[in-house]
Chain A
Amino acid sequence: MSDQTSQSAPKSMFARAWDSDFAYNFRRTPVAVGSAFVVALLVLSAIFAPLIAPHNPFDPASLDLMNGFTAPMAANEFTGDVFWLGTDDQGRDVFSTILYGMRISLFVGFSAVLFAMVLGITLGLIAGYVGGWIETIIMRAADVQLTFPAILVAMLIFGVAKGITPIEHQDKMAIWVLILAIGLSDWVQFARVVRGATLVEKDKEYVQAARMIGRGKGIIMLRHILPNVLSPVLVIATISLALAIIAEATLSFLGVGAPPTQPSLGTLIRIGQGFLFSGEWWIILFPSVTLLSLALSVNLLGDWLRDALNPRLQ
């Protein structure tokens, strides 16, 4: 008897997660494991940038102008210092600026997607569940916005927000404005998918039952329908993250994003472009490679997630 109970004892959370179809599929897909590894590595090194980075690129005291334009892995001709990935014109260690830049890129990317997700899910749930003229207004607005490329919408929002903020706060606010601009340019995808899924769910029996026992609209939407429409949202969120990171880099590269005082990867590439002709290739190459590996691995992860969560392919 005691043997039997120990046999059927519930497995730990971790073991159950490890045994699930989802985890099995993940382990058997080398591309997914590889890209997850790259994403984890980059995110962790961005989070722990202050511990990993050999220099603090934003502390003027640690900079030595004599170290400017040191090539990667070469000793500087004046100071003899060696930098893994070289230095830029002001003697900032490129490796450290990339780590700090990635922090800003990832922060903006994650926050923008989170913002777009919350906004899109809310509007999508309301449009799908409540319907009527509210739905018409929301979905018409979505259609109009979808006529224009997201990056253009983000640029316009950035420009308008810049016009509203007073000049002395512009640099400080730039990151938040960027999050707002990219988030607002991206909510439509979420709203459309959530609305579609809500329309399917809202007439199912469990929702009718919840309505019968007198639950409010808000509770039904959040506690009953939302959990059942989340899996397509997850897929869109991953793909949106890659797009948001690239959008942020593009805006910053164009000079309408993160300011030079808080450089993101895009700002670093913008700065590096000026040194392309004078032969300092490392200032632009390493931030570009980092951006590319980040965007590509998030994208691949999103592709895998879409296939893994698609019930038709299982």
Chain B
Amino acid sequence: MLTFVIRRVFQSALVLLIVGLVAFSMFRFVGDPIDNMLGQERTDADIARLRTDLGLDQPFPVQYVKFLKGAAEGNFGVSYRQGRPVSTILVERAPATLELAAVSGFFAITIGIGLGVFTAIRRDGFMANMIMSVSLIGVSLPTFLIGILLIYLFAVELGWLPSFGRGDVVNIGWWSTGFLTASGLKALILPSITLGLYQMTLIMRLVRSEMLEVLRQDYIRFARARGLKERSVNFRHALKNTLVPVITVTGLQLGSIIAFAIITETVFQWPGVGLLFINAIQFVDIPVMAAYLMLISVMFVGINLIVDLLYFAIDPRLRVDQKGAK
């Protein structure tokens, strides 16, 4: 167990180092930072001074270590476009993305598991078949088209919900939240459905197939024979045993929710980190791109690590196997 954990942590650190190297190379070789930071009226003395100030005259490995140190302290330099520290901008934008991701994740997990169990129990029912067919279409629709479709229906035609932005936000310290105002909550609905729909269908299909597999097994029949209530059989016995693959996929999907937030945030002009990243690409704002890359890799690698470690917490068989192997 311990060797496994150590090896996994070591692997994660290695991935982060490689990504850091990529981010640093972007920083160092795409465009000239000096060009980007100094205006038209610069002298050779200015250039030389900035070069020393930024440490650009030092050898590559030294610069890389300095970059990693800075990144670990949350210092990613100054945005070329906004002229402000990247870390400040990221802190400003993060709450919007995290709230959106949290709501879509919650939506995807609850509705996904609920519908998955429902379609598995009523396998041949009309509603269950309907849900399965509709979910096929949901998987093939590109995210941005779903967003546009929802905007057209609920914002343009019906006029019920706003089509862009976060509505009114309340500031609690540095965190700005949309959860506390009516307009903020209304603004969350369409983007989180757009973002969570794909994950929801994925979780639903997975739960359904796992449930169908489990419901065939002897211990379920035995539980029924003992006269347990149907609800207890379905949820306490069957669902519980489908959770290992569901948690894996859900965990990995949480990472994609953050990444795909880029698309949803652009469709709904949601002022989060994803929109910031797209604007950074359009204007080749390298410090913002590098910082986003580092941030999202920490998130992805972290989630993968946690999911792997969770296996042990959830599935006692794995622990036994490991002991047996020793």
Q: Which A residues fall within an 8 A CB radius of B?
A: 144, 147-149, 151-152, 155-156, 158-160, 162-164, 246, 249-250, 253-256, 269, 273, 276-277, 281, 284, 288, 291-292, 295-296, 299
Q: 3 shortest A-B CB distances, which residue pairs? A: A159-B281, A163-B30, A163-B284
Interface residues of B in 35-63 (CB under 8 A from A): none
Contacts of A164 in B (CB 8 A): 30
Instruction: Say which one of B101-109, B296-304, B308-316 lies at the interface with A.
Output: B296-304
- Known pairs A254-B278, A276-B151; A149 contacts B259 (CB<8 A): yes
Chosen A-B contacts, 7 in total, with CB atoms closer than 8 Å, are: A147-B301, A148-B297, A149-B255, A149-B256, A156-B289, A163-B286, A253-B266
Decide if B143 is an interface residue (CB 8 Å cutoff).
yes
Contacts of B281 in A (CB 8 A): 155, 158-159, 162, 256
- Min C-beta distance of B301 to chain A, whole Å: 7
| Contact residues of B: prevailing secondary structure | helix
A254 and B266 contact, CB distance less than 8 A: yes
A292 and B300 contact, CB distance less than 8 A: no
Decide if B228 is an interface residue (CB 8 Å cutoff).
no
CA distance A89 to B19 in the complex (A): 44
B304 and A147 contact, CB distance less than 8 A: yes
Contacts of A148 in B (CB 8 A): 259, 296-297, 300
- Known pairs A253-B144, A276-B151; A155 contacts B304 (CB<8 A): no
A156 and B31 contact, CB distance less than 8 A: no
Number of residues in B with C-beta < 8 Å to the partner?
39
CA distance A30 to B205 in the complex (A): 25
- Known pairs A151-B259, A152-B259; A277 contacts B156 (CB<8 A): yes
Decide if B13 is an interface residue (CB 8 Å cutoff).
no
Contacts of A162 in B (CB 8 A): 281, 284
Contacts of B282 in A (CB 8 A): 255-256
Contacts of A255 in B (CB 8 A): 266, 278, 282
CA distance A149 to B277 in the complex (A): 15
B259 and A295 contact, CB distance less than 8 A: no
A147 and B15 contact, CB distance less than 8 A: yes
B148 and A147 contact, CB distance less than 8 A: no
CA distance A12 to B48 in the complex (A): 76
Decide if B142 is an interface residue (CB 8 Å cutoff).
yes
Across the interface, A295 reaches (CB within 8 A) one of B31, B140, B143, B267, namely: B140
Closest A residue, CB atoms, query B30 = A163
Further 14 A-B residue pairs, CB within 8 A, beyond A256-B282, A292-B141: A147-B304, A149-B255, A151-B260, A156-B289, A156-B293, A159-B284, A159-B289, A162-B284, A163-B26, A163-B30, A163-B286, A253-B144, A256-B281, A292-B145
Contacts of B300 in A (CB 8 A): 147-148
Closest A residue, CB atoms, query B137 = A296
Decide if B222 is an interface residue (CB 8 Å cutoff).
no
Contacts of A158 in B (CB 8 A): 281
* B276-293 vs A, Cβ < 8 Å mask (1 yes, 0 no): 011011101010010001
Contacts of B134 in A (CB 8 A): none
- Known pairs A156-B289, A159-B284, A164-B30; A288 contacts B15 (CB<8 A): no
